[in-house]
Amino acid sequence: MRRPRLPPVLSAADERRWLLPSPLDHRHATAVAEAGADLPEELLAILCRRGLQTPDAVRALLDPEPAPDAMGHFPDLAAAVERLAQACQGAEAVAICGDYDADGMTSTALLVGVLQRLGARPRAAIPSRLEEGYGLNVAMVEGLAAEGVRLLITVDNGVAASEALERAHALAVEVILTDHHTLPPQLPPHLALLHPAVTPGDSPYRGLAGVGLAHVLATALCRRLRHRHGLEIALNLFCIGTIADMAPLAGVNRRWLLDGLPLLGRTPLPGLQALQQLAGVEKHWVDAEAVGFQLAPRINAVGRLGDPQLVVDLLTTEDPERAHELARACEALNRQRRDLCSSIEAEALALLEADGPQRPAFLLLAQGHWHPGVIGIVAARLVERFGRPVALLAGEGGGRLRASVRAPKGFAVDEALMACAELLERHGGHPAAGGFTVRAENVGALHDRLEGLARHWLEAVGDGRAVEPEALLRLERIDRDFWRQLQRLAPFGSGHPTPLFWSSRCQLLEQKWLRGGHLQLQLGQGEARLRAIAWRWQGPGQWDGPVDVAYRLRRDEWQGVERFQLDVEAIRCSGTEEVVLQRRDRTYWCRRQGDTLVIRNAAGEELRSPVRAVAAERGVLEDGHHPYVQGLLRDAAMALGMVSG
């Protein structure tokens, strides 16, 4: 359906709450500046607001220490390496049991590729998402044992597979467990365990995902056998899996990504080369964003819709022609994934529309024909749109439905599912996402329970879609030098997201709808002119006059010309709106009139103070006020977009 022609005034809405940062404590800002003295003020402010308020903390981000010897952090690593060395020297068959997500598939491919090069005979053993479900199972163990396999490595799973590990023990199959999921109170039989939780409390290995543990094991084995052939491919696949799994970008994760991302553009793996080419990734510009938004979805699509062995074959083949054939198969599944997501999202929105304008606090929708492999993606889109927890349910057969759950920051999915445990067949997850299986007759009671939990949460927070920009940035500050300095803070990801900037009082110069419901804008501020994209923009509303824009900065090349783009998260009217400040037990109402701040107290008394600019990107308040009043004025000026820090 074609969109109607837009009127001259921008017709799209953003009713989200804006939570602007407080002005910085200048003592902290000074300490941060000592460690990154040549960083722009806006980036120093972001570091400070993220809690990096000492020179050591800033240096740890910009240039982390090399990884310490893993042997001193994983008690069972030596035993695991010794057993694998025997397998390599004896050309022994080794099964690698992985998971069907990107972390599990890259972990599996990493160990298969390295062990092949070191002389073993590895084979992948990944269960089917639809037929077998997650993790090592008894049937897999029995089948592998019948084929003569006597050594098995789990990656990204295993610690909860009690029955399968008991069966392996009974069949004399030795098992090396590498997993980062919650450890049970008592572990089943195993030869060795590599898990972040067994490392010292302050270990830089604490944040490893499954692929990180596979990397630890593979590199230790390569060093034990004095063989370097596997080190580069291990680092390549570590980067892909770690970013895809959204592992925290701290400790050794950060150090290895800084070392490994620059190498991805010239990877020796034909499969990665082919995947990058089909994804349109610049050969010499493979950063965390390219991995997360272009490579990882193509890998994940296979695990959601197809056979994970396809990804393992792609990432381990040494034949370029075979690599391109496999990459094209991944690309086809990714297109199918996009089509399915669009179709399910349209159905979900139609169901919500049919229920009327009032939205429940917890959105729960079920259709038996939905594909369970992609409902989690659609649930995440609905969370982004409505700011509420979402569960989408697909048919599983036997009178049961399988669900994927996503939620805004602050609503704990795992705790909510635990509170509904007696209504569920099984469940699991973490605060932001989870899944469960439920019998059809329990869905109504389950929704009532989840609705109550979500309504209580919404009453406390007001809205799950708050916009929280971190630093005020004038558009004329955005140039190649600022981008270069921003990249010093990269890579961005879990625990260290891409900064969200905001610019105040921008002019809307042009607007155009693009295919897919994206809105393209031309923004102006002073002499600066920049292109902005509001992806998947929705909702009614208007802005007339200047706007405030919250965005993330992106760089790309168009016909060989470098350009910068604003990826818009939110837009609101600028200027005369009032903000309310709470200071101890006092309330103040603040507004701007031109370049003058007007602050009114509960008694109706008003204070007016002009703001004078002292630099293109920063303003300071006129002197002569009491320190309390100066602080109040600065907080109001920050909230109204009149000063930056």
**Cα 406 vs. chain centroid, distance in angstroms?**
13
Q: Give the three-state DSSP class for 428.
A: strand
Highest-pLDDT range among 222-231, 435-444, 455-464: 435-444
Mean per-residue pLDDT, 87-101: 94
Give the tens place of pLDDT for each residue, 104-135.
999 999 999 999 999 999 999 988 776 666 67
Q: What is the C-alpha separation between 267 and 273, in angstroms, rounded?
A: 7
Cβ 366 vs Cβ 401: under 8 Å: yes
Q: What is the C-alpha separation between 156 and 81, in angstroms, rounded?
A: 18
Q: Answer whether the bond into residue 491 is a cis peptide, omega within 30°.
A: yes
Per-residue pLDDT at 4 exceeds 80: no
Confidence of residue 616 (pLDDT cuts 50, 70, 90): very low
DSSP single-letter state for residue 284: T
Confidence of residue 617 (pLDDT cuts 50, 70, 90): very low
Q: Name the residue with higher pLDDT: 225 or 3.
A: 225
Give which of 256, 372, 225, 239 is closest to 296, Cα–Cα: 239
Q: And the tokens for 316?
A: 């381990």
Per-residue pLDDT at 49 exceeds 50: yes
Three-class secondary structure assignment of 25-92: CHHHHHHHHHHCCCCCHHHHHHHHHCCCCCHHHHHHHHCCCCCCCHHHCCCCHHHHHHHHHHHHHCCC
Contacts of residues 416-419 at CB distance under 8 Å and 24 or more positions apart, as own/partner, are 416/389, 416/450, 416/453, 416/454, 419/449, 419/453
DSSP single-letter state for residue 317: -
Mean per-residue pLDDT, 230-240: 94
Q: Where in the chain is the domain with CATH 3.90.1640.30?
A: 70-333
Q: What is the C-alpha separation between 386 and 359, in angstroms, rounded?
A: 9
397: left (phi over 0), alpha (psi -120 to 50) or beta: left
Lowest mean pLDDT of 447-451, 465-469, 486-490, name the range.
Answer: 465-469
Q: What is the C-alpha separation between 164 and 90, in angstroms, rounded?
A: 26
Confidence of residue 221 (pLDDT cuts 50, 70, 90): very high
Highest-pLDDT range among 53-67, 72-86, 278-292: 72-86
Lowest mean pLDDT of 210-219, 306-315, 531-540, name the range.
Answer: 531-540
Q: Where in the chain is the domain with CATH 3.10.310.30?
A: 359-461
Mean per-residue pLDDT, 253-282: 93
Evaluated on CA atoms 104, 109, 112, 114, the torsion sign reads negative
Q: And the tokens for 272?
A: 């990665």
Contacts of 189 (CB under 8 A, 6+ apart): 165, 166, 168, 169, 175
Q: Give the three-state DSSP class for 167.
A: helix
Confidence of residue 8 (pLDDT cuts 50, 70, 90): very low
Expressed in angstroms, the distance from the first to the final Cα of the chain is 45
Determine the pLDDT at residue 541: 44
Q: What is the C-alpha separation between 561 and 97, in angstroms, rounded?
A: 46
Q: Which CATH class is domain 70-333?
A: alpha beta
The dotted CATH code for 359-461 is 3.10.310.30
Give the tens place of pLDDT for each residue, 625-644.
677 777 778 777 776 766 65
Determine the pLDDT at residue 630: 75
Confidence of residue 167 (pLDDT cuts 50, 70, 90): very high
Determine the pLDDT at residue 615: 29
Give the tens place of pLDDT for each residue, 491-510.
998 889 999 999 988 999 98
Per-residue pLDDT at 428 exceeds 60: yes
Per-residue pLDDT at 223 exceeds 90: yes
Three-class secondary structure assignment of 171-223: CCCEEEEECCCCCCCCCCCCCEEECHHHCCCCCCCCCCCHHHHHHHHHHHHHH
Mean per-residue pLDDT, 338-343: 95
Determine the pLDDT at residue 34: 66
Determine the pLDDT at residue 584: 64
Confidence of residue 575 (pLDDT cuts 50, 70, 90): low
Cβ 529 vs Cβ 575: under 8 Å: no
Give the tens place of pLDDT for each residue, 384-404.
889 899 999 999 889 999 999
Give the tens place of pLDDT for each residue, 322-336.
999 999 999 999 999
Give the tens place of pLDDT for each residue, 128-145.
776 666 678 899 999 999
CA-based R_g, the chain, Å: 27
Evaluated on CA atoms 319, 107, 229, 115, the torsion sign reads negative
Confidence of residue 233 (pLDDT cuts 50, 70, 90): very high
Using CA atoms, how far residue 18 sits from 46, 495, 502, 537, 570, in Å, is 17, 21, 11, 17, 9
Lowest mean pLDDT of 6-15, 34-43, 84-93, 484-493, name the range.
Answer: 6-15
Determine the pLDDT at residue 612: 54
Give the tens place of pLDDT for each residue, 478-489.
999 999 999 999
Mean per-residue pLDDT, 69-93: 97
CATH topology of domain 26-50+470-573: OB fold (Dihydrolipoamide Acetyltransferase, E2P) (2.40.50)
Give the tens place of pLDDT for each residue, 299-326.
999 988 999 999 999 999 999 999 999 9
Total Cβ atoms within 10 A of residue 177: 27
Give which of 164, 177, 150, 167 is closest to 79, Cα–Cα: 177
Mean per-residue pLDDT, 76-90: 97
The DSSP H or E segment spanning 224 is helix 210-224
Per-residue pLDDT at 604 exceeds 60: yes
Confidence of residue 624 (pLDDT cuts 50, 70, 90): low
Q: Where in the chain is the domain with CATH 2.40.50.460?
A: 26-50+470-573
Give which of 113, 126, 118, 153 is closest to 314, Cα–Cα: 113
The DSSP H or E segment spanning 8 is none
Determine the pLDDT at residue 643: 63
Q: Which amino acid is residue 103, in one-letter code?
A: D
Contacts of 485 (CB under 8 A, 6+ apart): 38, 39, 40, 43
Q: Which amino acid is residue 579, in one-letter code?
A: V
Per-residue pLDDT at 421 exceeds 70: yes
Q: What is the C-alpha separation between 632 and 645, in angstroms, rounded?
A: 13
Per-residue pLDDT at 576 exceeds 70: no
Determine the pLDDT at residue 10: 32
Cβ 303 vs Cβ 101: under 8 Å: yes
Per-residue pLDDT at 645 exceeds 60: no
Q: Which segments within 190-346 are labelled E, that is strand?
A: 192-194
Mean per-residue pLDDT, 161-183: 92
Mean per-residue pLDDT, 581-604: 79
